Structure 1
Amino acid sequence: MKISLSSRRLAAAVGVLLPLLAPAVAGAQSKTTIRDRARQEAVKQVTSDESRFSVLDGVVTDSLLRPLNSADVTVVGTGARVVTSENGRFRMLQVPPGQYLLIVRRIGFAPTSGMIEVPARDTLRLSYVLERSNNMLDTMRIRGTRVTMRMREFEQRRQQGVGQFVTQEEIERRGSLATADFLRYMRGVEVSQVTTQLWGGTQVYSRREGAGMSDGVGANCAMQVLLDGIILPKNFNLDLLPPPKQIAGIEVYSGAATMPPQFGGPDRRCGAVAFWTRDGYN
């Protein structure tokens, strides 16, 4: 078989080029392998993170333990929100572990709240009881009007000069990262990190009534904390509040004598701190 001169030249050229192209091909394969490995590691990380998520499984009833449907259940600061079914049950999936504030409300009932500790890779079972209230407005249907009304009342109390106030403009101007930081400027108030209690975190105490911080945690006069008029649990962890960008106003009363009657509650003797949000949880 005869091989032409052009064929010989082509074979020679291929023989010269192959060694030159081999490193580039190997490099491309190596890069592809690196990308694939990085992608696989990312998938593993996401899968690992998701495996830590938990489930909230709960029920809402009235004072006679009858299931309440259409109750609104919100985990503050997460965007997680569900409505109870006909049997009063609710279920939230893919909840990251951590500490949260949960608010439950329904038309015709006084809202309630609670702090929850969500474990990793588990199901947290919850139950809440709502007390009927004849004075509750249909706050979920006219929330915009409700927010406007309460901020008007906020401004009226501010004009009266009783208590201490932080407006939305001041919040935006100061630019703090944590909502609790605004209380550090208040007279008669002390903000402290607590680690010796079950919930701990950032808590607020009155300096005017009860003992001071130097007398130990057991002697402190913990102030009552409200969010959109909802009384929060005693010794509430302020770290669970919405961020400053969601806050429309703050008012502080360091003793019961100056506190408006609508802020009354079981812990009112030590004063109250009321936070109002821009969109409204109630």
Structure 2
Amino acid sequence: MRSIVAGVIAGLMLFALPVAAQATAQSPVSATTNEPPAQLSGQVLDAVSGRPVRAALIGVAELGQWTMADGKGVFRLTNVPPGDQELVVRAIGYSPVHVTTQFMARDSLSMQVVLTPIPPTLSTVRVEAEFEERYAMRLRQFEESRSMGIGRFLDWRFFEKHKNTSVSSLLHGRFGALRVGLAGTDGGNRLLITRSGIPCMPVMWVNGLREDAPSIRLDWLNTSDILGFEFYTPATTPARYNATGAPSARALEPSGGAACGTVVLWLK
């Protein structure tokens, strides 16, 4: 028996391997050669658990020669024509592998095949549908605001795409006038805009309710918390967010109206 030893090719590991007797898939020898055929035997294993993969299909697809692994993952393929043949190994729930192997007349090859499981995943459509159903009311209000065509918006997909980046880094300078700076008595990172050369904090709304305290600290937020982000300059703030009241006497406090602009956050 000639053994194929060592190497990893497209997920296929080849080793010398003693193989138990196995029911044989018999196929006629190719009519293109009079040389005696070769045979291939081996075992198919799971790359993660190391357990046998039963009912895996092994064959030379181009010639239509196939055999199936038994309950121990063991297989034997006979009557393989000499020459370079592309072997295909596939099983339900695993990534298929293809490897080209040279067969010689009367060869008896032994092979161990390692298949990589395909991780179970929910379809993107289903995941997004469940997500949108769970936060339907907040997402609807965010989309209604965005459809008006004024203001600047970032949706949950943006924050999901940048989930390994801090909220401060994502928002700083993104909309020109809006930046992130240290403000407030606790010295935390907050959103600021510049009014008459002086930084001031925009009015903050969270899930439809105005935050009367100084603007929320960005240090407290993770990107995974955010469903939607809206930013309006003083001139573009919608009437429903333009709370009445006199502008703050202190620049680093949110104004009574929207003199420093408005930020609307939709959180989970």
TM-score range, shorter chain: 0.3 to 0.5
The structure with the larger Rg is 2
Q: Give the TM-score of the pair, scaled to structure 2.
A: 0.41
Q: Which has the higher helix share?
A: 1
